[in-house]
């Protein structure tokens, strides 16, 4: 395993136990490589957190261990690469500290496991930067040109998006829950707006449009919705995620009370992918509303080639997607929250040009709203979209769980709206006929 972001000035001795340093949550040091998982904390000026470069304890610690700390780094884990003989005792080994800057790297290497990942630690110096405290910027655009709405929303984050992409491959993930109902699926003009923006910042090379459609062959949906001429115009590939390499994640099933393995597309879980969720404003039949996060979490599980709902289904073929639903309203909200730590978007583009209300995500009716929401903070983007749909945010379980875990900003008072005034574009969406059943997550299940 090759380490990344190695800082040669950071030579320290490895801690011999978790208890040796109070800010360490857990330690895992197998063989030549291991990781230490750190508590999330703030370090205001004059604070006493050991890793704060301005604290007295930190200066003493760094003097003893010859460590140079950089306040700009935000680490989910600190990695140690062994230097010296492999038969040396743990306390005698010298290690290189390397900060893992990418959130998927942290989750992929964590051996704490599923629930442990529910509290992703961070180190932020200067002031608290956890999702519950930092402010986020969300672009809101409106107009009669869907592609232009998308482009202008992205342009308001131009520099931040260019930096965030870096050298990663851009993966545009549309929401094609249906391959033949345009109202239920991401419009080709939305994809065109994203690609035009990527071209303008020099990040279109190697970009792909990737999907695992829910109810039938993915490529049929691409064809039906006019994606192919758009992809040809910009020179990008269309990828059927059902043919992708996979890895297994685990979800909870509330009927069996057991975890179940789900195969998800490696293109989506790969830390070298920059995931753009090209989602829509839609109500839902299980979780009230489906926006940028759910598009990624439920789009990542694959189905067998030849699977489709209803007539024409290939013999013996199955789909992994319903496993995320977890056989009930409690499990689906929890599973979306749990998987969000690994499968969330890097950039949310939520098209509200024509939304869907009522019996979504496929059987609803159109809402002509003519807006678009864009943000690198996917939770902030979903929060703004929920407000624009006139939905009570407290009713959406999985997003409330993500808010409590500080996975992004969900306080409207701490979200800076760029572009249009949000109050001007609120439209109260009619919810699904079975909304009361969906809200059962708000009440603990009764014990028999």
Query: What pLDDT, in 10s, does the model give residues 117-176?
Result: 333 332 222 233 344 546 799 999 999 999 999 999 999 999 999 999 999 999 999 999
Residue 416: per-residue pLDDT: 98
Residue 339: per-residue pLDDT: 98
How does pLDDT run across 193-224, given as a tens digit for each residue? 999 999 999 999 999 999 999 999 999 999 99
Q: How far is CA 318 from CA 91, 263, 303, 374, in A?
A: 51, 12, 6, 34
Residue 195: per-residue pLDDT: 98
Strand partners, 78: 36, 99
| pLDDT exceeds 80 at position 262 | yes
| pLDDT exceeds 90 at position 35 | no
Q: Mean pLDDT across the stretch 167-193?
A: 98
The answer to whether the predicted template modeling score (pTM) of the entire model surpasses 0.75 is: no
Strand partners, 294: none
Residue 134: per-residue pLDDT: 64
pLDDT above 70 as % of the chain: 70
For the beta carbon of residue 183, count every other beta carbon within 10 angstroms: 19
| pLDDT exceeds 50 at position 261 | yes
Q: How confident is the model at residue 353 (pLDDT cuts 50, 70, 90)?
A: very high
Strand partners, 263: 248
Residue 332: per-residue pLDDT: 98
Residue 124: per-residue pLDDT: 29
Domains of the chain: 6-126 (no CATH), 136-442 (3.40.50)
Q: How confident is the model at residue 445 (pLDDT cuts 50, 70, 90)?
A: confident
Residue 448: per-residue pLDDT: 64
| pLDDT exceeds 60 at position 177 | yes
Q: How confident is the model at residue 25 (pLDDT cuts 50, 70, 90)?
A: very low
Residue 444: per-residue pLDDT: 87
How does pLDDT run across 51-106, given as a tens digit for each residue? 443 444 444 433 333 333 333 333 333 333 333 333 333 333 322 232 333 333 43
Separation of alpha carbons 296 and 149, rounded Å: 22
Task: From 235, 236, 215, 237, select the one nearest 224 (Cα to Cα).
Answer: 215
How does pLDDT run across 307-339, given as a tens digit for each residue? 999 888 999 999 999 999 999 999 999 999 999
Residue 447: per-residue pLDDT: 73
What are the φ/ψ torsions at residue 106 (nearest 5 degrees)?
-60, -45
Q: Write the CB contacts of 327 (distance below 8 Å, at least 6 apart in sequence).
A: 253, 254, 255, 256
Separation of alpha carbons 249 and 247, rounded Å: 7
| pLDDT exceeds 60 at position 414 | yes
Q: What is the DSSP string of 194-239?
A: HHHHHHHTT--TT-EEEE--SSS-HHHHHHHTTHHHHHHHHT-EEE
Residue 227 corresponds to which tokens in the numbers above? 């994606």
Residue 135: per-residue pLDDT: 72
- In this structure, what DSSP letter does residue 32 have? T
Which of 4-13, 155-164, 286-295 has the lowest average pLDDT? 4-13
Residue 126: per-residue pLDDT: 28
In the predicted model, what is the mean pLDDT of the chain?
A: 79
How does pLDDT run across 392-407, given as a tens digit for each residue? 999 999 999 999 999 9
Residue 41: per-residue pLDDT: 32
Q: Mean pLDDT across the stretch 247-276?
A: 98
Which of 32-41, 48-57, 378-387, 418-427 has the lowest average pLDDT? 32-41
């Amino acid at each position: 395993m090759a380490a990344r972001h190695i800082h040669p000035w950071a030579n320290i001795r490895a801690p011999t136990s978790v208890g040796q340093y109070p800010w360490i949550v857990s330690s895992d040091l197998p063989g030549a490589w291991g990781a230490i998982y750190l508590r999330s904390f703030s370090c205001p000026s004059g604070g006493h957190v050991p890793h704060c470069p301005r604290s007295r304890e930190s200066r003493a610690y760094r003097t003893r261990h010859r460590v140079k700390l950089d306040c700009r780094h935000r680490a989910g884990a600190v990695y140690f690469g062994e230097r010296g003989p492999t038969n040396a005792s743990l306390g005698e080994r010298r290690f290189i500290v390397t900060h893992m800057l990418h959130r998927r790297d942290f989750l992929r290497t964590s051996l704490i496991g599923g629930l442990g990942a529910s509290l992703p630690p961070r180190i932020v110096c200067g002031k608290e930067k956890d999702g519950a405290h930092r402010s986020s910027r969300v672009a809101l655009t409106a107009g009669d040109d869907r592609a232009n709405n998308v482009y202008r929303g992205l342009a308001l984050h131009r520099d931040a998006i260019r930096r965030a992409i870096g050298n990663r491959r851009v993966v545009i993930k549309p929401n094609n829950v249906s391959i033949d109902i345009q109202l239920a699926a991401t419009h080709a003009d939305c994809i065109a707006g994203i690609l035009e923006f990527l071209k303008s910042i020099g990040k279109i090379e190697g970009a792909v449009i990737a999907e695992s459609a829910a109810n039938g062959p993915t490529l049929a949906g691409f064809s039906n919705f006019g994606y192919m001429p758009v992809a040809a115009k910009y020179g990008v590939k269309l990828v059927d995620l059902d043919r992708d390499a996979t890895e297994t994640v685990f979800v909870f099933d509330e009927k069996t009370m057991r975890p179940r393995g789900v195969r998800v597309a490696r293109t989506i879980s790969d830390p070298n992918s920059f995931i753009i969720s090209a989602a829509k404003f839609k109500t839902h039949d299980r979780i009230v509303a489906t926006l940028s996060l759910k598009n990624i979490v439920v789009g990542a599980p694959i189905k067998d080639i030849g699977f489709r709902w209803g007539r024409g289904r290939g013999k013996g073929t199955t789909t992994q997607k319903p496993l995320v639903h977890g056989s009930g309203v409690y499990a689906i909200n929890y599973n979306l929250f749990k998987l969000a730590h690994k499968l969330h978007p890097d950039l949310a583009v939520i098209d509200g040009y024509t939304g869907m209300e009522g019996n979504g995500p496929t059987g609803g009716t159109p809402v002509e709203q003519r807006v678009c929401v864009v943000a690198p903070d996917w939770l902030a983007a979903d929060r703004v979209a929920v407000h624009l749909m006139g939905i009570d945010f407290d009713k959406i379980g999985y997003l409330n769980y993500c808010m409590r875990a500080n996975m992004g900003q969900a306080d409207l008072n701490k979200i800076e709206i760029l572009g249009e005034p949000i109050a001007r574009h609120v439209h109260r969406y009619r919810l699904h006929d079975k909304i009361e059943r969906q809200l059962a997550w708000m009440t603990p299940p009764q014990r028999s």
